[in-house]
Structure 1
Amino acid sequence: MKLSSALGLTLPALLLAGTAHGADAPVVVTSIKPVHSLVSAIMQGVGTPELIVDGAASPHTYSMKPSNARALQNAKVVFWVGPGLEVFLAKPLEALGTDASIVELDKAPGLTRLAFRQGGAFEAHDDGDDDDGDESGTDHDHGHGGFDTHLWLDPVNAKAMAAEITTTLVAADPANALAYQGNAEALNARLDALDKEISGIVSPVKDKPFIVFHDAYQYFEHRYHVRVAGSITVSPETIPGAERIAKIHKKVADLGATCVFAEPQFQPRLVDVVLEGTKAKAGVLDPEAGTLDAGPDLYFTLMRAIANNLKDCLSRES
């Protein structure tokens, strides 16, 4: 299948001139900002990878653009998390020619992979509510292997992804192998320091329960032992039914003073409904970095922001 057919685009649109790249740099395309940040850090001094899901867009709701098609058509290497997260990329990548190395980072050696939670405040379909029936294992996050794909929210996983990125870039561009390897060593040191820093930030509030918009934070929770008590929706593409909202509202009330976190890419109305009549406070978490500028430092800004926003909201007096 041709890439143009898979995207519903005309061949002339695909063949328009793309972004210029340095002669010594391979054309590298990345799917989402956290992946782009890790690749950018490893490619510093050699080249700059392209990014598909830019700005405030979310991979959960993204639609391919002609510029994205051009980037994929010209790519020597493509890094993405995998079809469990970037569903919109699956068919276009299948249609690519064999020249590009396509790397699913959710298969990187050394990753911790956590299964989707089952039951209670994290899973709507177990309660038999027809309004919530779409929140089953068929949505964007919950297919393709049965594990949570927000893998980057643990710096140790980020190190495993960075190792796979480095191995791929060295194989694709051996002339710049020393640069990639040196950058990877520096990145690993920064990730180790970040891990210790975040642990210190969240330690004073790690026993305080909170509710998130969708269940994207399991890796952060697992790493730092914070108490995610439930999610408003299993996946952000799916609007939860009235029964689920009522259950989460009761959960917040039963927990006492806590926090409910919205996400900037999605409507906060459901958060307001959950908060109504409770002592809970509102906060914002941005697991996909929609509000941040892309670049090699984004990953660190993202992780610090999650830690600091958790601490700030959970530390507030009722």
Structure 2
Amino acid sequence: MNVRDPLISASVAGVAALVVFGATGCASDEAVGDDGRVDATTTLYPLQYVTERVGGTHVKVTNLVKPGAEPHDLELSARQTGELGDADLVVYLKGLQPAVDEAVEQAGVDHVAEATEYSALVEHEGEEHGDEEGGHDHDHGDPHIWLDPTRLAKVAEGVRDELSDVDPDHADDYRANAATLVKELKALDREFQEGLATVQNRTFVTTHSAFGYLAERYHLKQVAINGVNPEAEPSPARLADLEETVKDEKVTTIFFESQASPKTAKTLAKDLGLRTAVLNPLESVSDPEKSTYFTVMRQNLKELRVALEAS
């Protein structure tokens, strides 16, 4: 998945910018922005959402990835580097965006909420990945932890603790906000558990192998056409394997994501007589004012229930 947005173009100097994605505390003049709020920088929509929910009115959140853009290849401009240097808290996920990892390491930021510290990355046993050429190898494991609500709840608690350290004057508010969010995430987890309990089929096919944590949490099996790159062309051998899987496991639907080309999914679906639908990996959203983590996840649940023939 490649970022082509010129506003998020690469720059060697930009790498340092990400390091500053930190939280600003209100307990001291040095830890608070000019408007009295903590300045937090994030690098991924789910982390932006969590930071906004936990921080509430005390935190101003800036996400380095524009709405609708792909976050995997995020690189920093000189301007972003300078802005990040002024941030109070950096909230990021190690292993997803190399430029961010390097910037954080070089900057030596005082306040960092690093998501894998709260929910470790794993490789998914038995997961069928498909072709990897042209994709992104995640050496540290699958980074898409937010697609399991219980894992995102742990990240929310980590952000709570870091904000409380930066801004102890509002620690009670951060604790209350985090508790509310965690409660909602656990309720969402129950919705998925109940909604997928009666499915007739537990195998789903998608162009992007982003749904391993979701599959493991809810006892499903993900089969990815192109591994980590949703726009790569599958090899003839891979297509033959997919056709066999579709027939053996009675797959009804080929999923693609809204921000990637549906060409491969639609061609494969047409050849095999299947339908297509969108399954959103939530790496970014086009309009955060209209679509939130919860609305997108519930839409994903709805699509999975249809594809897997829930009763």
Contact 2:203 2:221 in 1 (8 A): yes
- 1:246 is matched with 240
Give the superposition deviation at 1:219: 1.0
- 2:307 is matched with 313
* CA distance in 2 between partners of 1:235 and 1:41 (Å): 29
- 2:69 is matched with 57
Residue ranges of structure 1 left out of the alignment (5+ in a row): 10-19, 125-131
Change (3 A) 1:26 1:297: farther
- 2:48 is matched with 36
Poorly superposed stretches of 4+, deviation over 6 Å:
none
- 1:223 is matched with 217
* CA distance in 1 between partners of 2:209 and 2:289 (Å): 26
- 1:285 is matched with 279
Contact 2:43 2:63 in 1 (8 A): yes
Contact 2:129 2:228 in 1 (8 A): no
Change (3 A) 1:48 1:60: same
Q: Is the partner of 1:152 in helix, strand or coil?
A: helix
- 2:112 is matched with 102
5 Å-filtered alignment, 1:183-202, equals: 183-202=177-196
Contact 1:44 1:183 in 2 (8 A): yes
* CA distance in 2 between partners of 1:192 and 1:210 (Å): 24
Please, which of 6, 16, 37 is the counterpart of residue 25 of structure 1?
A: 37
Give the superposition deviation at 1:82: 1.1
Q: Is the partner of 1:27 in helix, strand or coil?
A: strand
* CA distance in 2 between partners of 1:297 and 1:256 (Å): 32
Give the superposition deviation at 1:152: 1.0
CA RMSD for the aligned pairs? 2.9
Q: Given the two structures, how large is their TM-score scaled by the length of structure 1? A: 0.79
Give the superposition deviation at 1:48: 2.7
Q: Is the partner of 2:80 in helix, strand or coil?
A: helix
Deviates further, 203-212 or 275-284: 203-212
Please, which of 170, 178, 188 is the counterpart of residue 172 of structure 2?
A: 178
Matched, 1:140 2:136: yes
Give the superposition deviation at 1:256: 3.0
Identity %: 24
* CA distance in 1 between partners of 2:221 and 2:166 (Å): 42
Residue ranges of structure 2 left out of the alignment (5+ in a row): 1-9, 17-31
Deviation readout 1:1-60 (Å, 9 max, x if unpaired): xx9743389xxxxxxxxxx96622121001111111111110112123111112111222
- 1:6 is matched with 13
- 2:270 is matched with 276
Q: Given the two structures, how large is their TM-score scaled by the length of structure 2? A: 0.80
* CA distance in 2 between partners of 1:94 and 1:43 (Å): 24
* CA distance in 1 between partners of 2:194 and 2:286 (Å): 23
